[in-house]
Amino acid sequence: MSFKNLGLTPPLLKALVSQGYAEATSIQIEAIPAILAGRDVMAMAQTGTGKTAGFALPILQKLSQGTPARSNQARALVLTPTRELAAQVAESFATYGQHLSLRSTVVYGGVKINPQMLKLRRGVDVLVATPGRLLDLHAQNAVSFDQLEVLVLDEADRMLDMGFIHDIKRIILSLPRRRQNLMFSATFSNEIRDLAKKLVRSPEEISVTSGTGAATSVKHWICPVEKKRKAPLLVHLIHDRGWQQVLVFAKTKHGANKLTKFLEAEGVTAAAIHGNKSQAARNRALADFKAGELRILVATDIAARGLDIAQLPQVVNFDLPNVPQDYIHRIGRTGRGGFSGEAISLVSADEVDLLSDIERLMKQLLTRVEIDGFEPAQRVPETTLARKRKSAKPRKPLSSQTPGDSYGRSSKRKAGASPYGHGPQPGEKRKSGTSGALKGSQKTQQKQTPSEGKARDQSSPAEPAARHADQRVSKRRPKASGERGGGGTGRGRRAQ
């Protein structure tokens, strides 16, 4: 369907033509009319399907018809989980709105806050932000939301995975209740739906995924290999297959740095981006990679969302992710915009469980390709799509269980406990310094028969108090023979 049939204004259509966009994608066809109509939207779409344009275009059109933003105000707020994604979304808004008199800016951590405060002082129509930096700016009164009309949560599932749920809730409390809410994500987990219940009102749900969330234009295959030979195999594939632009995902920051040094030692230009790198270094590495000055970009999962490289041909999983959904987000960097791509995973035997989880999520067994000279000594076990069954562990017999005890209860009692379950009464304490005669009487009481215990329970209530008083008196002076009865009882009452 043409963008002209979606009700977009001429300035937006002119910007789309300059970018070479002619036909709208499925997510754009369904989302743009719903957003223009003012409805809340929950949209699930795989990466690379044009969902950013799906919400940016109608937001820009609505804002162009309203009142400009006042000082330190924002009319539309877009929250993203990563800095790279925030920069990408802000660039899209600037590109699509180049023929409109609207102001937009992006704020995120890792850079100085003062220049961002200066941009917000004039007021912005579109503010793209990461949650942490936005809360910092709001706490310093650098931005307010009295004019806010639209809230967008982009890659909502990733924000929850990264622990931003509490920051998001704090931000929502500072927003006006009357607003339009849009949620866009590659997947919708139960946590996302729980958040949506508190955020959106009678939303229009849109789903244009393939069921697994992975683009159908991506070819998946794996290379079984020993863990210690993964790096040499990667270099072999780069040279043997003539790869010129490859995005490689490593599991850890240290692993990304180590792999980058190995590639450079082998004469392959490479750079790493991860959370320990400064924002300036990350931006520079990404710009060089897009410009073709770097052959390999090694990244951790922090960059799995937000990297938009036109026609990226290959994505390599040097390490398989612990969470199978992260595999979908990684390979979403290739096969974008209808172009084809390859997703290659280097798998060692100890990663077979991770591989199996990914294949069950993908609902297909990934093709295995062994490279001559890199066959693993320890074979990667074959996998299936069947669910793993957890074998029920047999119940261990209780060591205290006896043939006469049908309930398996222990017949052992704690030392000093009454055979009838009558321990110390509330407010009473066991006396550790009692005389030997008293201890002997307590043991005799424990050995009483049930009939004797019953008779004792029916005795006078004053007797326990007298016994406790006698115990206290025995600590102060020797106990006289025949000293019992009223005097002891009276002192016991006064002591209580």
Q: Let me know if 211 is exposed, middle or buried by CB neighbors in 10 A (0-12, 13-18, 19+).
A: exposed
Instruction: Choose which CATH entry (3.40.50.300, 3.90.1300.10, 3.90.420.10, 3.40.718.10) describes domain 218-368.
Output: 3.40.50.300
Q: Where are the domains of the chain?
A: 3-207, 218-368
Quick check: pTM over 0.85?
no
pLDDT of residue 458: 45
Q: If one looks up domain 3-207 in CATH, what number appears?
A: 3.40.50.300
Instruction: Point out the least confidently predicted range of 238-242, 280-284, 338-342.
Output: 338-342
Does 218-368 match 3-207 at the fold level? yes
Instruction: Point out the least confidently predicted range of 139-153, 364-378, 481-495.
Output: 481-495
Q: Is the pLDDT assigned to residue 411 strictly greater than 80? A: no
Token representation of residue 102: 């609207």
Terminal Cα-to-Cα distance of the chain (whole angstroms): 91
What dihedral do alpha carbons 477, 480, 486, 488 form, nearest 10°? 20
Q: What is the pLDDT of residues 103-148, one digit of tens each?
A: 999 999 988 999 999 999 999 999 999 999 999 999 999 999 999 9
Report the SS3 class of residue 344: strand
φ, ψ for residue 46, nearest 5 deg = -70, 160
Q: What is the pLDDT of residues 462-474, one digit of tens each?
A: 444 445 545 554 4
Q: Let me know if 288 is exposed, middle or buried by CB neighbors in 10 A (0-12, 13-18, 19+).
A: middle
Which of 143-147's residues contact partners 24+ apart within 8 Å by CB, and which partners? 143/72, 143/73, 143/74, 144/72, 144/73, 144/74, 145/73, 145/74, 145/77, 145/174, 145/175, 145/176, 146/73, 146/176, 147/67, 147/69, 147/70, 147/73, 147/74, 147/75
Residue 301 pLDDT class (50, 70, 90 cuts): confident
